[in-house]
A and B are shown apart, each in its own frame.
Chain A
Amino acid sequence: MSTRTGICNFCGTGCGHLLKVDNGVARGVFASPDHPVSQGRLCVRGWHIHELLSTRDRILAPMVRRNGRLEPVSYDEAIAAAADGLSRWSGDEIAFLASPRSSNEDNYCLARLARTVFRTPNIGLASDQGHGDAADVLLEGAGFPAMLGALTEIRKAKLILVVGGDIAKLNPIVGSEIHRAARRGAELVTLSGRLTQIAKLSGRHLWFKPGTLRHSLAALAKVLVERGWHDASFLRDRAEGFDDFARYLAGLDLAALAAASGLEPAAIEDLARSLAQAPTAMAFFTSGIAGLDRPSVALLFDLFLAAGKIGREGCGVNPVAGICNIVGSYDVGASPRFLAGCRRAEGPAAGRTPRELLAADPTPLKAMMVVDRDEEIVRHAAKLKALECLVYVGAYGNPFVEFAHVVIPSATCAEADGTYTNTERRIQLSRKKIEPPPGVRPAWRICADVAARRGASWPGASAEDVMREIAAAVPAYGAVTYAGLEKGFGLQWPVDAGHPAGTVRFDAAAAPRRLRFVPAGADLGVAAVSKDFPFLLMAGKANYFWHRNNVMKKTQIPKREYNALLLLYPRGFVELAASDAKALGVRDRAPVNVIAEGGSMRVAVRISGDVKPGTAFVPYFIEDMVPGFLNAAGAAIDEDQESAIPVRIEKV
């Protein structure tokens, strides 16, 4: 048995762990007490990563589909088939689907393959809408497209505002750090449409009506500014656009905002006052598969900017990534919106995500290369099946394999060197700990071999060489070296000539330009109930039930926890308040039809104290629900997990 330091590969927290390897098999994991973020903590997923890493559901041989069947071929044949198959298509006929769980090196090479070899800007992560919106707002507002504060500074915040999804379930160790700060005396406030665990741990919970996060944030900002509680001297020295923001707020009707959100005006005023008076304050919200939408992030940013809680110690607006390397994937350009270095892609360089292309009717797509995906397949199975060329690269058994024309196995995160950038911009090096199966290569190497087949010669011979190229291409990674990362527990970008030891948080005083208020844009909108659709339905995730669970299903204990719920509610459930269930005449686990304007689904009732009467909640991890309901009715939910759709619920 050997114990090697590593980085957890599940969520964006980037906890440190010690992987135990016995005869080339991961047989255990232990928390790393010295890691600056996790400090000896792991969540249920992190404590079982060895189960995933030792799964026997691996792709072991390169395969090519011939006469409808996948047949094992040599690695070189598979590379040739992939390169030649993809090369027949161009423009919107081809797209690349990257994984937010891949290393920076893997994604940098995939983005380079897409943009320089196959000459398409259509590369995306598919599950990145929320994080993309957050990066976009923070780039516009602060010139800094990721978490402005730092996880290691949570303990310095006197007020912590958690917005939306349950951070205690989605990023448990971030939730833990917030809870610890609260136990030490920080004021913890949750703003959400549902009673979450973090709300239960909060001193104050502002429980708004589903779909009115924007209204709640706008109301807070309006009170803060109109009472004169904003930080005028900070804004004078560091910000621009405040007058426009104040004018925007002046045009809003506070009584109408309060009525829409269902919040008590006094509670809004109290929180606005606390935020203004707190010496330091941080906001957290989960981003990723479905984070907050752009107007919500903009309002949150503007609220904290007006309160002077940006760019100082213990302050900041902080998106928390749901998957381990979403931030890094953006940094290295695995996105249609951004080139490597988070430069906005414009004109012909701006592409569309594979998801957007698949959603179009008819889809222009003819060919796709997919790396290590574990979700998004059910929605568009028919269109994927109809593709002329689908190349799948991945380590684990995956539903994409059923549709693929070429399959190339890749190494797991424990089988290759690579860096992963966590949600606080911490670039962490994870060393190879396990020998991959014979002939299996890391994904970046596979990309390079496909490129070579198309006549492009990439000189890099190791992951470290690829990082040298990233450092040259991405300014925020300019001074990153493997040797530098290995000295401690990684470095937080920007890591450049001016910040060789990295940057713990965004510093307004040192920023090259002023902070800017970001217009929230369009009218705030509100999902309204009607006689026909009297319930407001929310959708969300919980801790075992994310990423369509292709990954979780390869574990044992997390899978069991997933199944414990699925066995009770095999086709999913809708949470209802006890009084609503009584009025409908249904008991727990009774089937109901949930009907929205665009579609309906049959699920079981789960009576819960976590939703208010008149509202309902579905966890959207259950595949069967997706084609029948969320495809039709779930566009709003795709955009923003705090949105809501009016539905009718009928006893079956």
Chain B
Amino acid sequence: MYIMPKSQARALAAALAEDYDLHGPVLREESGEPMFDRVEDPAAIRLEAAIPYNPPKSVVFPQAERIMSYRYDREAKTVSLERDDLVRPKALVGLRACDLNGLLCLDRFYLGQEYVDEFYRDHRKKMFIVVNNCVRPFPQCFCVCTDSGPAAREGYDVALTGDGDDYLFEAGSEKGQALARRLGLKEAGPGAAGRKAKIIDASIARFDAEATENKAWISRVMNRITTGFISNDIWEFIGDQCFECGACSFVCPTCSCFNIEDINSREGRTDRMRSWDSCSYEGYTRMAGEHNPRRPVEDRRNKRFFCKLSYSQSRKYLRPGCVGCGRCNRVCPGDIGIANVVTYIRREITKAGAK
């Protein structure tokens, strides 16, 4: 472990900018909103900013992306293909632990199974990740319930933990070590690991009083969802409140579903677009032959929470599909962000237990 004065954060970003496209939390000029975005100027990265409104997944899985285009020549009956070069080494500076866990979930979906998604892989490879452990929670956070924070355990090149005027700088990889050397950082000494543990424990202790927007007790509910012992009334109560906007999927750091559409143009070129999709839409599960296994809205909501919270899905991600960032609760036009759904189900468990 090393010590890096906070004043050196800009130098860290500048050093990475030499080899990578920089992405990180910024405060938008117009309104001061914290967003995770591509930055040209390393000084724009604001490590102290609150958790960004948008998850960083658009770096590896953009909202709308052309993955290929082709042109059909009618006369010659030939097709010419064109592929966009997606390989840009990227540095993610100032990722929060929940969002890093989200990225690891996406890795397991896109890279960790029998099929490897080459577009995702091209974005993901040669990536440098600097995680910024949370020394205090934000109001919407519940990562302590989903085992995804406030400190990251894996998947980073560098982990920073704020300690007064300094950061404790942990290298998680060879690349991270090299960066520490390049920045000329001081060794933190033998007490550093203990100090970090204390800082993180203090952060966890503040959740009760400060992270007041969402209280989710994920573990109690995973069992229920996995075994399916949730009454249909609850799903209908949840389904009636779904406005079918798709926002929960779009702001979720782990949601990976996409749609593919070929878009023709008058001049003959076709763009193959991949874009974010959501299980809240009726068209999402419609199959050829007009069959739709999840046509009623409550069936679609049921699917989402099964995906996030059931044991069988957790085996896929090696963790729950929810990372406790609280974004879905903030953007939901109904009242069915994941923390609320967990509450509704727990309330039912409590009632059933009392019977």
Contacts and interface: CB of A to CB of B under 8 A. Distances in A.
Interface of A: 1, 3-5, 18, 20, 27-34, 40-44, 46-47, 50-51, 54, 56, 168, 172-173, 175-176, 179-180, 183, 197, 200-201, 543, 556-557, 560-561, 563-565, 567-568
Nearest to A173: B333
Nearest to B31: A34
Nearest to B53: A33
B9 to A, nearest CB: 22
Given A3-B28, A557-B281, A28 B62 contact: yes
B163 interface: no
A483 to B, nearest CB: 14
Nearest to A561: B283
B246 A56 contact: no
Given A33-B330, A200-B240, A556-B273, A3 B286 contact: no
10 contacts: A1-B37, A3-B37, A18-B33, A18-B35, A20-B63, A46-B245, A50-B64, A179-B333, A557-B259, A564-B286
Contact of B266 (A4, A56, A568): A56
A200 B296 CA distance: 14
Given A556-B273, A560-B283, 8 more contacts: A31-B331, A33-B331, A43-B243, A51-B275, A557-B259, A564-B292, A567-B286, A568-B290
Contacts of B121: none
B243 A176 contact: yes
Contact of B246 (A30, A32, A47, A565): A47
Contacts of A556: 259, 261, 263, 273, 275
B282 A564 contact: yes
B241 interface: yes
Contacts of A50: 63-64
A50 B247 CA distance: 15
B88 to A, nearest CB: 12
B226 interface: no
Nearest to A184: B335
Contacts of B265: 56
B248 to A, nearest CB: 11
Contacts of B275: 51, 556-557
B314 interface: no
A561 B250 CA distance: 17
B18 interface: no
A3 B30 CA distance: 10
Contact of A1 (B30, B38, B264): B38
A563 B277 CA distance: 16
Contacts of B243: 43, 168, 172, 175-176, 197
A86 to B, nearest CB: 28
Contacts of B281: 44, 557, 560-561
B203 interface: no
Interface string B5-40: 000000000000000000000001011010101100
Q: Which 9 A-B pairs have CB atoms at the shortest separation, nearest pair first?
A: A176-B333, A28-B63, A564-B283, A56-B265, A560-B283, A561-B283, A200-B240, A172-B243, A556-B261
Given A47-B245, A172-B333, A563 B283 contact: yes
Given A41-B331, A54-B64, A179-B334, A30 B273 contact: no
B259 A180 contact: no
Interface string B275-292: 101000111001000101
B33 A33 contact: yes
Contacts of B31: 5, 32, 34
A179 B37 contact: no
B290 A197 contact: no
Contacts of B177: none
B313 interface: no
Contacts of A47: 245-247, 250
Contacts of A563: 283
B244 interface: yes
Interface in B260-311: 261, 263-266, 271, 273, 275, 277, 281-283, 286, 290, 292
B171 to A, nearest CB: 29
B343 interface: no
Given A1-B38, A567-B290, A41 B277 contact: no
Contacts of B37: 1, 3
B333 A43 contact: yes
Given A1-B37, A556-B259, A28 B58 contact: yes
B35 A3 contact: yes
Contacts of B264: 56
Contacts of B292: 564
Contacts of A32: 31, 33
A56 B244 CA distance: 27
B247 A31 contact: yes
